[in-house]
Amino acid sequence: MKRTIVTLTATPPYDFELTAASATSFRGHYAAEIFEDGIYRRLLDLGDNHLCLASVCSSGTVDSPRLQMELTGNALDENIVTEARRQVSWILGTDQDLAPFYRMALQDPMLAVLTREMRGLHLTHTISVYEALILTILEQQVHARVAHLLCNLLIQTFGPSVEAAGVTYHAFPPPGALLAAGMTGLRSIKFSARKAQYILDIAGRVASGELDLEGLRTCSDEEVIHMLTSIRGVGVWTAQWLLINALGRPDGFPHNDLALQRTLGILLKNGSSLNPEEALEYSQRWSPFRSYVTTYLFAAVRSGRLTVLFPAEELRT
């Protein structure tokens, strides 16, 4: 296996620890992402049987970020290295300019607290729209723990893998691998028949070229939602999350998300969940940065910071 070291440029403020932890939903290992002992790892499938393990660490500070990425693979020519740098920079959101969002957040007491305490958190993304779509379907209408289990099972069972230093790493399974698994394979790892069928339908349409998910990058938010909701098994909730996680749009807001409604209720309504219409109406004040607000709110919840930043006594006043 060959190795090379690559420097990644990040726009300050950039908190690597917080951002990499967010990529794994603060679980250490979620889907194809691993963040342990200060190192973010992701096995990249660069096509043509080129698998490359990217390991990223930080030697800088929030205001002066310095990220180093070690690449390990059988082939590490200039094109491979360039594509690996592009993919990891996209995943970890290194080029985002947080300044406009922070200027808006300072005018909102709640956001001012969130952004001060989680300063340098950048929005993370999936490598592809296809990956985000499959993962989001798995997360539909199930508890977070179940979603975590299903995502990991899918990747560890059907994703291509490499071994490095005695550890096996898996990339996200391409459409062909899911089609080869079929209904029997997906059902064997506890997928419901309905979710398995949705995933196989999408994998088949992507593999045949009928469904061009990456083409959504040139569409407006409204066009993205319209196109995605025409796919079997995809509703507005899924489409809204893909605006944030897959396409990196700044103003996505999944107002139908129950966890988001509960969180806003804790912060704004003495613990009573907002309904979708209330959540959407209230969010208008944060446009055009609602993707950032959503990310910071979920990071506060998943990291355990929410109750620390907003004690119950303060929320009742």
Please indicate, yes or no, if residue 264 is contained in any of the structural domains.
no
pLDDT of residue 312: 62
Query: pLDDT class for 277, splitting at 50, 70, 90?
Result: very high
Please indicate, yes or no, if residue 265 is contained in any of the structural domains.
no
Domain match, 81 and 135 both: no
Q: Which residue has the tokens 């006594």?
A: 313
Domain match, 155 and 85 both: no
Question: What average pLDDT does range 268-297 have in this prediction?
Answer: 95
Reading the block at residue 238, the tokens are 């899924």
Domain match, 157 and 240 both: yes
* Helical axes 290-302 vs 236-245, angle rounded to 10°: 90
**For residue range 194-221, what is the model confidence (pLDDT) as tens digits?**
999 999 999 999 999 999 999 999 999 9
Q: What are phi and psi of 52, to 5 degrees?
A: -140, 125
Which residues are CB-neighbours of 59 under 8 A, at least 6 positions away? 66, 67, 68
Q: How far apart are CA 200 and CA 207, in angstroms?
A: 10
**For residue range 129-163, what is the model confidence (pLDDT) as tens digits?**
999 999 999 999 888 899 999 999 999 999 999 99
DSSP string covering 54-91: EEEEE-S-SSS--EEEEEEES---HHHHHHHHHHHHHH
Reading the block at residue 57, the tokens are 């660490």
pLDDT of residue 317: 35
Please indicate, yes or no, if residue 305 is contained in any of the structural domains.
no
In the predicted model, what is the mean pLDDT of the chain? 95
Domain match, 143 and 224 both: yes
Q: How far apart are CA 128 and CA 213, in angstroms?
A: 8
Q: What is the CATH number of the domain that holds 213?
A: 1.10.340.30
In which domain, by residue range, is 33 found? 2-95
Closest listed residue to residue 10, CA positions, set 120, 113, 101:
120
DSSP designation for 122: P
Q: What is the CATH number of the domain that holds 11?
A: 3.30.310.20
Residue 117 has pLDDT above 70, yes or no: yes
Please indicate, yes or no, if residue 295 is contained in any of the structural domains.
no
Domain match, 227 and 158 both: yes
Which residues face 36 on adjacent strands?
Answer: 39
Domain match, 162 and 73 both: no
Q: How far apart are CA 242 and CA 228, in angstroms?
A: 9
Reading the block at residue 99, the tokens are 């300044």
Domain match, 82 and 180 both: no
Answer whether 0.85 is exceeded by the pTM: yes
Domain match, 84 and 136 both: no
Which residues face 42 on adjacent strands?
Answer: 33, 54
Total number of domains constituting the chain: 2
Question: What average pLDDT does range 9-33 have in this prediction?
Answer: 96
Query: pLDDT class for 313, splitting at 50, 70, 90?
Result: very low
Please indicate, yes or no, if residue 298 is contained in any of the structural domains.
no
**For residue range 159-196, what is the model confidence (pLDDT) as tens digits?**
999 999 999 999 999 999 999 999 999 999 999 999 99
Please indicate, yes or no, if residue 253 is contained in any of the structural domains.
no
Domain match, 139 and 238 both: yes
Reading the block at residue 276, the tokens are 């979708």
Reading the block at residue 83, the tokens are 């594509």
Domain final residue pick, 204, 219, 245: 245
Domain final residue pick, 193, 227, 245: 245
Please indicate, yes or no, if residue 114 is contained in any of the structural domains.
no
Domain final residue pick, 95, 121, 156: 95
Residue 231 has pLDDT above 50, yes or no: yes
Encode burial over 187-219: b for 16+ CB neighbours within 10 A, e otherwise.
Answer: eebebeeebbebbbebbebbbeeebebeebeee
Domain match, 153 and 241 both: yes
CB atoms within 10 A of CB 301: 17
Please indicate, yes or no, if residue 259 is contained in any of the structural domains.
no
Q: How far apart are CA 38 and CA 20, in angstroms?
A: 9
Q: How far apart are CA 191 and CA 207, in angstroms?
A: 21
pLDDT of residue 269: 86
